[in-house]
A and B are shown apart, each in its own frame.
Chain A
Amino acid sequence: MPIYEGIGTITDKLVVVMDIGAAYTKLGFSGEFAPRCIIKSEVLCKESGIMRNIRDYKDKEDLYDLLVDFVHVLYFKYALLSPKDRPVVVVESLLCPTIFRETLAKVLFCHYKVPVLLVVPSHLVCLATLAIDTALVLDIGFSEAIAIPVCHGVPVIHAWQALPLASQAVHDNLRTALATHNTGVTLSDWNLEDVKVRCCFVTPQKRSIEFQKSTPNLTPCPEVKYPLQGSNSIIIPGKVRETMFELFFEEDNDHQCLSTMILDAILKVNVDLRLQLAENIFLVGGTVMTPGFKARLKEELYQQLNNERYSKLKIKTFKFHSPPCKDNYTAWLGGAIYGCTELLSMKGLSRETYLKENRLPDWANMKDNLRTL
């Protein structure tokens, strides 16, 4: 760890940057190149003694209490500073529910007396890590995959595409598959994620096609004996290891999957920008780190071009960006870059203003706008 890095920045204002994801929360400081910690977005419920994910809230008040506890942990276990005098940058998904963002703002301003808050949309700020302003951003997180084109620094919201094709779907898939191969074994969420991360990968397209045949003419990859508590263990067959991510590429009833999301998003953008977007595809989120994922998505994209509905795109090549960081904290890093600029003082919402108006600026109504467009 470069422990003495950034000595020159000690006089700068320390700005807390947080990206509270559905599964993992990234926390750190502006001007730094990686988050200080990536932790599960969950808190210990004092009454029941179990860990509760902060997205599993019952109502507004419950969410408020969960966030109070969670932000307390963020500040006093990880950031180790008083929230009172530090500006905060929150990186947030475009599809973040209004109740969540408003409650988070209330917790930060009212409970923790944060002086300034700047909320930045993840799809926009992650481009800062590349220093570009036009790209098609596909964010595959825990609960959903969201594709949004960003053109000249403006997210083209009416072109957004979202499908529940993300970690959670893979976990469910894996749970079912392992239950059929190992009867009577129930795996915890932790085990499922661990199996996914350590054993599973995205297989190339030609093998995937072969697997779909009734008698596949291929040898699956070696099976894995996965140990559980004590001397118990389960077998993870080679086919399961290879095919758990297939649901990303199988078209649903509406003929939608990850590759069509990208192309549909491009289709909804002005003709002049389409080629530029196809040549600036930016994949972010933890799931895109799966071995073989990017190679497979590329294959699938080219495959879709043969499809009639995309022939008018006249796309010849797809080009992909690779960020100067790990894919699961790209959005956080973008927030950290924004956080060290003067944007915070220019566009940040101060506590005084918030208390006077008692609400966040109106762009919370983004969803209403979506419907009218």
Chain B
Amino acid sequence: MSYIILPDVVHYACTCGILKPISKLYFCRHCLELRCGFCVCHEADSHYCDKCAENLPSSEARLKKNRCGNCFDCPSCHQQLSTRAATVGPKNPDDPKAAPRKVFYLLCLLCRWSSRDVGIPDQAAVSGGWPERENIYAHRLQEIQDMYKAIVLSDKQQKLDKDKKKQRRYMSFTDRTGITASMLRKRIGWPDVPNPLLKAKPTELNNKAIAKEEVEEFPEDLLTSPVNLSLATTMEQRLVQPEWQPTTIDKLFPIHKHLSVKRSQRCRSCEHNVSKPEYNPNSIKFKIQLFAYYHIPEVRIITVEPLRAGKVSELLLKFSNPTQHQTSITLFPYKVDDVIACEDNRTEVISQSSEEKGSGSQPSSITHTSLTRQPSITIKPRPIKTRVVADVVVPNASFVLPPRDDAAEYDDSGDAHNIQNDPKIVVWRKSNKAVIKLQVTPNSDLNIGDEVTTAFTIQHIYINTITTVENKEPQKCEHKVKVFLTLGNLVGGS
């Protein structure tokens, strides 16, 4: 989502330790924590073609190899191909009554590539029935694949039988070097990924490929004939068709358009969705959209006086409350986290079983997560690396932000909320917004031109309207979030 106040100079610290603008953050209402694209779990929701907007069930998408059956891309420039109609003479030109026929071909409106260029016959129907190409090795590869499947399966069966009967060890094939493969493997520290062929029955080995003395001959005409670059395909044109990788443009074939996928995002700790789009590809709406923008007070920089090392500058910030409930905001000075040492990688990943989580404070979420019995992983938040080089004097008192009222946007009658302002802090106020005056002092060891970043912690009252079995009433919670402000560069003089 691009945001109306670029460049992004206000960043919020996500729970995972990454700094992002508020437009890129989610707010899980179940854990009451910020989440971002990095620390949520992405899931593929629904497949669709972004040209014809057809929605495909995932099984069908899988069957069609994630490609649209009707739309094609240009093999030359990868733009979409259009279907073009042409009129040709009737099948039987001698018959005066025969009507002319319509035929269809594919044309790229960008680079003018056409299906006629490569000799694909025109089709009688709009939807085509365009010829599909086969992998010429498909038969051979299917044979090999079936053979490998069968060998490994019988090997597995043998192992199972062996385990059952607890008999003496299975005679492994001895290779001609005189030591067994597994001995060799142990000696060289090689993984025990066995080659299935070792356990093959002799009859199965007729499939072996035969090496030949001949290799591809040197194409002598390369030495004499001039190169026409426009006939040789580029690497992109080759790789977009991995199976064929045409080297000359006369072998380019239309490409079925690749599908796109709608994604939903899930909170990693409670497994609730923080974002879920509507199924219909034409819809840009969401079923669930727990964007931080709708829940966390937004901070914008109004003005800041020129920043000088060691000197106090006045900073005006606008806070707005996006929720339907009145909130109260308290600022705290930023302090570097109690340095959760992340040096030891082993402690970085903490695994918990879902049973352990059952004793946690979120019984409502457990009933949902118990469906998936995988141990959940919490990745420890990384330390915030951004250097804070200016101090902010935060006011001791807190201030109130009224709820958001869309109608008030059009109402100029003034402040209806009768809020007692502390004029030292709040300099301006309108509906759910307030401008706060702060004092910022860049560190005295900064040089002219250095970027000045400051930070503080916001605590706001969040009304959690999610009701659980125990809590039928909306709950008041205090939520804290660290905010980083990039104020600009240090200037000289006084």
Name A residues whose Cβ lies closer than 8 Å to a Cβ of B: 1-5, 7, 10, 14, 24, 26, 31-39, 61, 68, 72, 75-76, 78-82, 84, 106, 110-111, 113, 115, 118-121, 124, 127-133, 135, 151-158, 193-194, 197-199, 201-204, 207, 221-222, 224, 226-227, 270, 272-273, 279-281, 291-292, 294-298, 317-326, 328-329, 333, 337-338, 340-343, 345-347, 351-352, 355-356, 358, 361-363, 365-366, 368-369, 373
Contact = CB atoms under 8 A, between A and B. Distances in A.
Contacts of A4: 63-64
Interface string B263-277: 100000000000000
Interface in B184-199: 184-185, 188-198
Given A197-B234, A221-B224, A365-B189, A1 B242 contact: no
Give the 4 A-B residue pairs with the shortest CB-CB distance, closest first. A153-B195, A324-B137, A369-B189, A130-B209
Contacts of A224: 226-227, 229
A3 B208 contact: no
Nearest to A69: B38
B189 A366 contact: yes
A131 B188 contact: no
Contacts of B148: 128, 131, 337-338, 340-341
Contacts of B261: 76, 80-81
Interface string B107-132: 00000000000000000000000001
A341 B153 contact: yes
B212 interface: yes
A26 B243 CA distance: 12
B184 A154 contact: yes
B44 interface: yes
Given A131-B197, A194-B234, A198-B229, A272 B212 contact: no
Contacts of B219: 201, 291-292
A5 B152 contact: no
Nearest to A278: B211
B212 A127 contact: no
A324 B212 contact: no
A32 B235 CA distance: 23
B23 to A, nearest CB: 14
Interface stretch (B355-363, B371-379, B441-449, B460-468): B371-379
Interface stretch (B83-91, B139-147, B315-323, B389-397): B139-147
Given A272-B177, A343-B196, A36 B242 contact: yes
Contacts of A10: 59, 62-63
B41 interface: yes
B144 A337 contact: yes
Contact of A363 (B153, B189, B215): B189
Nearest to A79: B66
A124 B190 CA distance: 11
Contacts of A366: 188-190
A154 B195 contact: yes
A320 B194 contact: no
B67 A3 contact: yes
Contacts of B153: 341-342
Given A80-B261, A221-B224, A343-B152, A369 B375 contact: no
B232 A198 contact: yes
A113 B188 contact: no
Given A76-B261, A132-B208, A153 B194 contact: yes
B375 A3 contact: no
B245 interface: yes
Nearest to B178: A270
B194 A113 contact: no
B176 A318 contact: no
B450 interface: no
A174 to B, nearest CB: 14
A340 B379 CA distance: 32
A320 to B, nearest CB: 5
B211 A321 contact: yes
A131 B146 CA distance: 11
Nearest to B136: A324
B411 interface: no
Contacts of A82: 42-44
Nearest to A282: B211
Contacts of B253: 1
B410 interface: no
A33 B138 contact: yes
A204 B218 CA distance: 7
Nearest to A150: B195
Given A153-B195, A347-B193, A226 B234 contact: no
Q: Most chain-B CB neighbours within 10 Å: which of A5, A131, A204, A355?
A: A131
B176 A131 contact: no
19 contacts: A1-B132, A2-B133, A5-B134, A76-B42, A82-B43, A111-B379, A152-B175, A194-B234, A198-B234, A202-B218, A272-B177, A320-B213, A324-B137, A324-B144, A340-B145, A355-B349, A355-B351, A355-B375, A368-B189
